Structure 1
Amino acid sequence: MPIKEVFVKTDVYLTCLSHALSTEKEEVMGLLLGHVDQRFDLSLKVGVSYGQSFIENVIILQRSVRQADRVEISPLQLSAAAQEAEKLSIELGKPIRVLGWYHSHPHITVQPSHVDVSTQANYQAMDPDFIGLIFSVFQQEDNEKFANSSLVCFQAVNVDGVLRSREILLSISPPETAAGMEIKTLAKIPLMLFNEEKEHMEKCLSGDLVSKVQNKAVFTQAMCQLLQCCEMPCVSAVLAYEQSLLNNLHRLQLVKQSLDNLTKC
């Protein structure tokens, strides 16, 4: 049953994009949680079944390898993601599982590389419904003042013994519930980046005094950049979400007051 279309909730999309924009020099990666529904194409004489993938949540992963053209995670994080999917299945009452992955392409095109296609094929060997998202960020032409971003959804296919990418139709759908779950995920991005920088610094503490001072200075600079580019926007997002909840509460209170007045009459 091939995947024909993927629906990603708005909050999930914004969280993934924010994660991709959190660092300009290295790729980032995360996992997508969701479920697949079976559909039938009745436009043909013989109905053909296909799958629609619904992405409900995202898990941000801490990188074990950070490079401009490669990103790796530990196998333990995949196991933890499966456990998180089981918990979400109980909360939502849906068969949620790890259904895909996403990563960023800073300063390069959105097309999957041969490494991306090979990685995707390995995931599909475990689950044929597995999909991949690539966020191309910080794209800027010489004559443009602002950077652009783009997104592609794909799977790997074997064509005459050669692995190629197959693009899948992607739609951004509004969330069915409040955005609190994704706000919590969004708030984890600065903490994840902090842990990465801290582990990287601890690996470089050995050496002479000058090297230690240099490494700590680089760590301090990274923390300042993290605060400016990631922490402050996250705080602004949480405050905006709080204000939206207060506005909604005020609206509901007015509705309740109106209904109470009608009841009295």
Structure 2
Amino acid sequence: MDDHLAIVYMTPEVQTTCLTYGLCTEKEETLVLLAGYFGYENFQTIAHVTRSIVTTRKDKSKDRVEVDPEQMSLAMTEADSAGLNLVGWAHSHPHITVNPSHVDLRTQFNMQTLDPRFFGIIVSCFNNDAGTQRFQVTCFQTIETEHGQIERVVPLLIRPANPGLLVTDGLTQVQAIPRQLFKEEAEGFDNRQCGPTTGLAAHLCAGIHTHTLSNLVDKMTGPMLTHLKIRYDTNMKQIEMLDKRRGTRSSI
């Protein structure tokens, strides 16, 4: 058996979570931990990603994102409770190319010391190409050479975990995004309140916090609810159409 990771299979639900989270902010990188399992195919090591775990970001900036070790431990516990393991991580590159930075390569290399099969995914977004927005996604590992750390590209394919079966937790994974963003904003506001903020400064912090929460509701939670309603109506129409087909076949 070849222990080098040959390919990564990701479910459409996890892909949707990674892309949606990346589009939530163009001023900060986002991070998602990936749960699933490793296996073998044609005597090669493969990874199956079936669940995404949105965690609190330790460092939030336009060119860097880090996850707290405590959050990593909680994510491992959550994955284990579902009979899965942490197999990778994904983060966004807003207004940046999809290529991993030296920080990304170092972070990925550190992850591989825990499991050499561990991989990273980068989602490049908010890049205009001739006026057209486009996504770029890469899956990679880090190789240590005499010239330093370099990227090893790993093929990434999107396919359902169980073709033909209805996935019930797909929306649950996406719903974790606004919940996490609200949590981070609340924690940031509480931390600012702990400082020496009085009078106008306290009112300013409260106003900024209210404005941020309003933006989250207006630009994310609201559109998400609208999308869910459209999806619900579409599903109900499909169910009605399938019921009619079944009735037609039964009468033959």
Q: Summarize the Cα distance change of 1:232–1:175 in structure 2 as closer, same or farther, 3 Å threshold.
A: farther
Give 1:121's aligned amino acid. F
Contact 1:29/1:102 (<8 A) preserved: yes
Please tell me whether residue 38 in structure 1 is matched to residue 28 in structure 2. no
1:117-150 CA distances to partner (integer Å, 9 max, x unpaired)?
Answer: 1110111111111110001111125xx3343321
Aligned partner of 2:62 among 58, 68, 88: 68
Q: Judge which range, 75-84 or 16-25, deviates more.
A: 75-84
Give 2:157's aligned amino acid. S
Could you say which residue in structure 2 is the equivalent of 1:43? Answer: none
Please tell me whether residue 110 in structure 1 is matched to residue 98 in structure 2. yes
1:47-72 CA distances to partner (integer Å, 9 max, x unpaired)?
Answer: xx421222111111121321112222
How many Å separate the matches in 1 of 2:173 and 2:34? Answer: 12
Give 1:52's aligned amino acid. I
Q: Percent of aligned positions with the same letter in both sequences?
A: 28
Q: Summarize the Cα distance change of 1:79–1:145 in structure 2 as closer, same or farther, 3 Å threshold.
A: same
Contact 2:14/2:173 (<8 A) preserved: no
Equivalent residue runs for 1:80-119 within 5 Å:
80-89=74-83, 96-119=84-107
Please tell me whether residue 168 in structure 1 is matched to residue 154 in structure 2. yes
Aligned partner of 1:215 among 205, 208, 212: 205
How many Å separate the matches in 1 of 2:184 and 2:124? Answer: 22
Equivalent residue runs for 1:186-265 within 5 Å:
186-205=174-193, 206=195, 207-262=197-252
Aligned partner of 2:15 among 13, 16, 20: 13
Give 1:227's aligned amino acid. V
Aligned partner of 2:30 among 13, 28, 39: 28
How many Å separate the matches in 1 of 2:167 and 2:22? Answer: 19
Could you say which residue in structure 2 is the equivalent of 1:147? Answer: 133
Q: Judge which range, 211-220 or 176-185, deviates more.
A: 176-185
Give 1:171's aligned amino acid. L
SS across alignment from 1:2 = strand
Gaps of 5+ in 1: 41-48, 90-95
How many Å separate the matches in 1 of 2:45 and 2:91? Answer: 23
Contact 1:134/1:152 (<8 A) preserved: yes
Aligned partner of 1:138 among 105, 126, 129: 126
Give 2:44's aligned amino acid. Y
Gaps of 5+ in 2: none
1:260 to partner: Cα distance: 4.1
1:175 to partner: Cα distance: 4.8
1:222 to partner: Cα distance: 1.0
Q: Judge which range, 4-13 or 23-32, deviates more.
A: 4-13
Could you say which residue in structure 2 is the equivalent of 1:46? Answer: none
Normalized against structure 2, the TM-score is what?
A: 0.90
Give 2:56's aligned amino acid. Q
Contact 2:55/2:75 (<8 A) preserved: no
Normalized against structure 1, the TM-score is what?
A: 0.85
How many Å separate the matches in 2 of 1:129 and 1:236? Answer: 39
SS across alignment from 2:192 = coil
How many Å separate the matches in 1 of 2:113 and 2:27? Answer: 31
Contact 1:186/1:234 (<8 A) preserved: no
Could you say which residue in structure 2 is the equivalent of 1:59? Answer: 53
1:86 to partner: Cα distance: 2.5
